[in-house]
Amino acid sequence: MTPGARLSAAIEVLADIAERRRPVADALKDWGLAHRFAGSGDRAIIATLVYDALRRRASAAWIMGEDTPRAVLIGSLRLQRGLAAQTIAALFTGERFAPAPLTEAERVRLETGTLSHAPVAIAGDVPEWVVPSLETALGDDLLPELRALARRAPLDIRVNTLRATREGVREALAHLSPEPTPLSPDGLRVPLGEDGRGPALHVEPEFLEGWFEIQDEGSQLAARLAHAQPGMTVIDLCAGGGGKTLALAALMGNAGRLIATDGDPRRLAPIHERLRRAGAVAEVRTPRGGKGRPDVLGDLDGSADLVLVDAPCTGSGTWRRNPDAKWRLRPGSLATRVAEQEAVLDRAARLVRPGGRIVYVTCSLLPEENDAAVAGIAARRDDLAPRPLTLSADIAAAARTTLHGIQMSPERTGTDGFYVAAIERRPTSP
């Protein structure tokens, strides 16, 4: 496909997303099925164009003066890729499936449009209704953080210390030029290509042998901040596909008892193969469907040294990776997530032993899902109280300290927006 044809395809996909309010992955998949002549390279570039346009949807529409798929794509080429108006015009020729030539109004907008007087929601490319919450969390750093949240995310991997060392993996992947992550001692960062996409790490022999997992540095740090130790009884209550379960198993050196479960059994499907590949030891308890299903953790009440709650959340801290999600988020969705967080924290409180800890994690920047959730469980249970996290000096310097925990963010830590807090169940009086 020609560069112009790829732009036309991206506009088509953006129109499908806008009309049907569907996830970008679904729209891209359907476009690929309907256009089988497009090679994998073409599809990758089209996907990058679409993701970049969604990252800058509000600001691109502002400088172009309209919120159409074509306008958003044109504006994103300038804002996200830094292309000059003349360069963009050379791609919009109307020839060989390229989009129609730029109008005079579009040229003027590209050359003169500015964000200098744009509201924060526009300049930061977020829904207007979340700005007050984000301002509470980010303060004077609001706009720099939102701009960082609109950039492309890095590609990080976590070295599986059950099978390899960081230097060993770095040497094995030397052809990809990985560098150590700034904060995680087990992480490596793999450079992205010019198109903003990373290499196919899942086909590397070292991945297939379980030497590493693909995991954002912030997620790696969240698992480390749980301070799981060999010999502990640890429950990963919202394990999902098992990313943090694998990290916990490595931190424990496969010594102790590690139990993984999730309220949605479908999310647990990948965990079994991932555990096998990593050589990680964990007991997976999969709940059955139906209203009368038994509690698969009922025998563990009051026995866990550590319960990790990687809670369901809005995912606002991952908008670099999932930019379409921010435009589909509604206040009702936040209320639903808050209710789910209350329920899972209440379950964790029954599992933890006196003197044990709950470590609460979200990938959200919204305080309603973070400090407010911790304060809520402490108010509901007089035997639970927030406790300071044990932080290394570099994490303490980089992360934002909140009332009850820490907040990582793209601008401050270079990671996704993970929140982490510790809650202790008070020891029983003698």
| Catalytic sites, residue numbers | 363
The whole-angstrom separation of Cα 196 and Cα 190 is 12
Q: Which two tokens stand for residue 223?
A: 């698992």
How many C-alpha atoms does 236 have within 13 Å on its Cβ side? Answer: 29
Is 310 annotated to bind a ligand? Reply is yes
Please, are residues 223 and 253 in contact by the beta-carbon 8 Å criterion?
Answer: no
Is 262 annotated to bind a ligand? Reply is yes
The whole-angstrom separation of Cα 197 and Cα 216 is 15
Q: Which two tokens stand for residue 109?
A: 């907008």
The whole-angstrom separation of Cα 107 and Cα 318 is 33
The whole-angstrom separation of Cα 91 and Cα 99 is 8
Angle between helices 40-55 and 24-34 (to 10 degrees): 150
DSSP 410: T
Nearest to 69 by CA among 84, 82, 57: 57
Place of tokens 């809670």: 311
How many C-alpha atoms does 122 have within 13 Å on its Cβ side? Answer: 17
SS3 380: helix
Element (H, E) at 163: none
Backbone angles phi, psi at 227, to 5 degrees: 55, 50
The whole-angstrom separation of Cα 410 and Cα 144 is 9
Annotated binding site: 262, 310
Annotated binding site for S-adenosyl-L-methionine: 262, 310
